[in-house]
Structure 1
Amino acid sequence: MPTMEYTIHKPEIGKGGFSRVFRGTDMGCGRAVALKKSRCSLVIKKPHLRHESRILQLLQSHPAIPAIYGYAHLPHFEYLAMELLGESVSDLQPDGTKIAPKTVVSVVLQTMSALQHIHKLGIVHRDIKQGNLMCSLNDPSRIKLIDFGISRMFYEGEPKRRDPATKGYKMVGTLDWASLNAHDGIALSARDDFESLAHVALDLLRGDLPWGYRPWLEPRRIAQEEVRASKRSHTAESLGAGFPPEFSSLLTYSRSLRFNQLPDY
């Protein structure tokens, strides 16, 4: 992948567990970009953003995958230049706003198309949530799927398992949207991206989910158990009550899939 020179504009426009995102300008052509920056020395063998850049390179050619422009690993930081996007779906839902079913259908169908593309290439995203669904800058009705930093190839055979009660266990994904398998320490596959998408759809419709994680009140270890119990106690039908049944059916269907089974997109 080519490396190019960029100007970074502060303040940051986003951040995650591993990196911060800035608006940048390609000094060669003047193009505005999103520039991810992560602290990483040259001795690190598996840099986080290099992994994401390789995943994105593999996934190019689908309209819901953002364009990637360049990657560089310098002595103290690594950088990833990619398509500049607009607001996230979470930005469109302030203070528990309920989103119209027609709009939610559009979000789900576009995300489902993106998942079909990445799953058929053997990749599982592992962190589907509103904040990772972005609106195109040129057409806000178009959804782009971002943040492939914890994406992995999935494999044939039986899923690996970890005991959630093990000291130091950290669930994969984001607590509110994670699948029950993630809570149970089971390796994630296509079915888990679908379950997270079902949680996203139901949250957009309802304005909230009954297990909303409150990080300022609960230590993460306790919250993981409480959210896990709440997800088990709420049926798909109860979560989707009052809305078209297809939404609750999506959650039921995702939980019925086998580890190696690709969904019927």
Structure 2
Amino acid sequence: MTLSVAFFCILVKMPRVKGAQAGRPSSAKRRLAEHFAAGEIITDMAKKEWKLGSPIGQGGFGCIYLADRNSSKSVGSDAPCVVKVEPSDNGPLFTELKFYQRAAKPEQIQKWIRTHKLKYLGVPKYWGSGLHDKNGKSYRFMIMDRFGSDLQKIYEANAKRFSRKTVLQLSLRILDVLEYIHEHEYVHGDIKASNLLLSHKNPDQVYLVDYGLAYRYCPEGIHKEYKEDPKRCHDGTIEFTSIDAHNGVAPSRRGDLEILGYCMIQWLSGRLPWEDNLKDPNYVRDSKIRYREDIAGLMDKCFPEKNKPDELAQYMETVRLLGYAEKPLYQKLRDALLQGLRAIGSRDDGRLDLGLVENGGPRARTATKKRKTGIESTESSVEDMECSDAQTEEATQTRSKTRKRVQK
């Protein structure tokens, strides 16, 4: 996937692939969205009116526009929201919409922030959705927060390294997100740098996106059973996906935490041991299984120097011991990461220190001016935003094919 498709405003994104991907639906089977003019008014299910601004992205089946609450003013480049519009008989938006309606209403997120005494929670807020008729055709739309750059770009610009403090700070905030979505019956299943977006209001805030293929692992409080399905083997982004997913088992809480562990190791070391042969998913799976039983060996392989990040080994060991349906002790995992911060003479100060590298050194961070608005907003550069044709609820049975990052 090109960098221009790294941002998906409604947070359903295509996985990045290195080669041809089998099993994707033909674009001929779905209608493309027509262009909406700036200033068009749409009304959501709560009867709130929204005004569209300039288009900032177009994918296979939908378009993305800047958006703001309807007023006499035109929607400017500093608009706090984005809206994705797609023909209502298409499906990519439908799946994600269900997640946001169940788990991402602003009042739900704010209540969690208050009760858990957080400064923020990196779950994008859902502001509205509905159907809109234009020229005799029906379109589905959803309004979301607007975001900035994804971490993959920043990671690559930093020579594929994040500092130990940055990795630990990022992971503490991602753990906050995972605990929240897990408690709302969902798992993410595809945590990676390109699915982590920054807020423009605060460059120290990171948001986990792409819930178009999130899995409801515990509907109505009943956990899905462990069951291996050969048709779903290796589902996810191959270098990060969990051992369960490699075996065709439905995503679970321990899988999300395992994926985050692999991300932390890659962000800090620059490379995972199995990245030399991603074309062979069985090799990747077997490597992960081998290192799961030899976490010390994994640390030696990735961090040959003497000063090893013991907190990552402790984190991976805790995750290794989790049962498939077991509820994780999130605070125990946080405590391990906090111990890592203390080991380097730091603390959880909320700063990500993601300054890009220039001439071998970090670029100075610049303050971002906040825009006063009733809606928490974030910014994304126009060139980073593009909608995608991620697989939909109608294609649940082919879900694993749409998420594999395996060259055929």
TM-score bracket for this pair, using the shorter chain length: 0.7 to 0.9
Give, in angstroms, the shift of residue 176 of structure 1: 1.9
Q: Decide whether the 8 Å contact of 1:85 with 1:136 is kept in 2.
A: yes
2:135 aligned with 1:89 = no
Relative to structure 1, is the Cα distance of residues 207 and 256 closer, same or farther in structure 2, using a 3 angstrom cutoff?
A: same
Alignment-mate amino acid for residue 109 of structure 1:
L
2:194 aligned with 1:138 = no
**Structure 1 residue matching 2:89: 3-state secondary structure:** coil
User: C-alpha offsets along residues 44-102 of structure 1, whole Å, 9 cap, x if unaligned?
Assistant: 6x922432332323853242112222212444643221111111221211165211000
Which of residues 150, 161, 173 is equivalent to 1:98?
A: 161
**What is the RMSD of the two structures over their aligned residues, measured on CA atoms?**
3.0
2:313 aligned with 1:256 = no
Q: Decide whether the 8 Å contact of 1:135 with 1:142 is kept in 2.
A: yes
Residue 47 of structure 1 is matched in structure 2 by 94
Q: Decide whether the 8 Å contact of 1:23 with 1:32 is kept in 2.
A: no
Unaligned runs of 5+ in 2: 1-44, 114-120, 331-408
Residue 12 of structure 2 is matched in structure 1 by none
Alignment of 1:94-243 (within 5 A): 94=156, 96-155=159-218, 156=222, 159-164=225-230, 166=231, 169=232, 171-212=234-275, 218=279, 223-234=280-291, 235-241=294-300, 242=303, 243=308
Unaligned runs of 5+ in 1: none
Residue 34 of structure 1 is matched in structure 2 by 82
Relative to structure 1, is the Cα distance of residues 49 and 187 closer, same or farther in structure 2, using a 3 angstrom cutoff?
A: closer
Relative to structure 1, is the Cα distance of residues 19 and 162 closer, same or farther in structure 2, using a 3 angstrom cutoff?
A: farther
2:244 aligned with 1:244 = no
Distance 1:7 1:239 in 2: 50
Give, in angstroms, the shift of residue 174 of structure 1: 2.1
Q: Decide whether the 8 Å contact of 1:104 with 1:201 is kept in 2.
A: yes
- Compare 72-81 and 113-122 and name the one that shifted more: 72-81
Q: Decide whether the 8 Å contact of 1:236 with 1:248 is kept in 2.
A: yes
Q: Which has the higher contact order (CA 8 A, sep 6+)?
A: 2
Q: Decide whether the 8 Å contact of 2:96 with 2:211 is kept in 1.
A: no
Distance 2:61 2:261 in 1: 27
Distance 2:109 2:154 in 1: 26
Instruction: Give the TM-score of the pair, scaled to structure 2.
Output: 0.54
Q: How many residues align?
A: 251
Distance 1:72 1:244 in 2: 48
Distance 1:19 1:148 in 2: 17
Give, in angstroms, the shift of residue 123 of structure 1: 2.1
Relative to structure 1, is the Cα distance of residues 19 and 149 closer, same or farther in structure 2, using a 3 angstrom cutoff?
A: farther
User: C-alpha offsets along residues 176-195 of structure 1, whole Å, 9 cap, x if unaligned?
Assistant: 22110011112222111111
Q: Which has the larger radius of gyration?
A: 2
Alignment-mate amino acid for residue 54 of structure 2:
H
Residue 56 of structure 1 is matched in structure 2 by 104
Percentage of pairs with the same residue: 22
- Compare 33-42 and 188-197 and name the one that shifted more: 33-42
Instruction: Give the TM-score of the pair, scaled to structure 1.
Output: 0.80
Give, in angstroms, the shift of residue 157 of structure 1: 5.5
Give, in angstroms, the shift of residue 21 of structure 1: 6.9
